[in-house]
């Protein structure tokens, strides 16, 4: 029986501090840390991984969804590598 636990990467949208684009970020949990990386420029940050983190991503999603009213381009951030520049 295979009991190896694989955690799926979590994709979430955010503004990347490295490339300045709004991009799709990929969080890969490893224990109590996670590697969060920009799927556009490859910039990586290490973040603390805790049960509430999905709630944090969800809050950001809610914020971005509100922003979609004014910036419909944000809806196009769906797949790894997608990036848009907003000022």
Rounded to 5°, the CA angle 72-83-16 comes to 105
- The reply on whether position 19 binds Zn ion by CB under 5 A is yes
Q: Which of 31, 28, 62 is nearest to 45 (CA)?
A: 28
- DSSP one-letter string for 4-34: --PPPPEEEEEE-TTT-SEEEEEEEEETTEE
Shortest distance, position 8 Cβ to Zn ion, whole Å: 21
By CB under 5 A, which span of 8-16, 44-52, 54-62, 71-79 interacts with Zn ion?
A: 8-16
Interface of this chain with Zn ion, residues 37 to 66, rule: CB under 5 A: 38, 40-41, 43
By CB under 5 A, which span of 2-10, 13-21, 48-56, 74-82 interacts with Zn ion?
A: 13-21
Q: Which residues bind Zn ion (CB under 5 A)?
A: 16, 18-19, 38, 40-41, 43
């Amino acid at each position: 029986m295979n009991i190896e636990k694989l955690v799926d990467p979590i994709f979430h949208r955010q503004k990347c501090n490295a490339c300045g684009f709004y991009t799709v970020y990929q969080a890969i949990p490893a224990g109590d840390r996670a590697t969060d990386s920009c799927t556009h420029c490859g910039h990586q940050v290490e973040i603390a991984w805790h049960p509430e983190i999905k709630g944090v991503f969800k809050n950001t999603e809610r914020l971005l969804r509100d922003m979609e009213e004014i910036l419909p381009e944000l809806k196009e951030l769906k797949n790894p590598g997608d990036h848009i520049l907003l000022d």
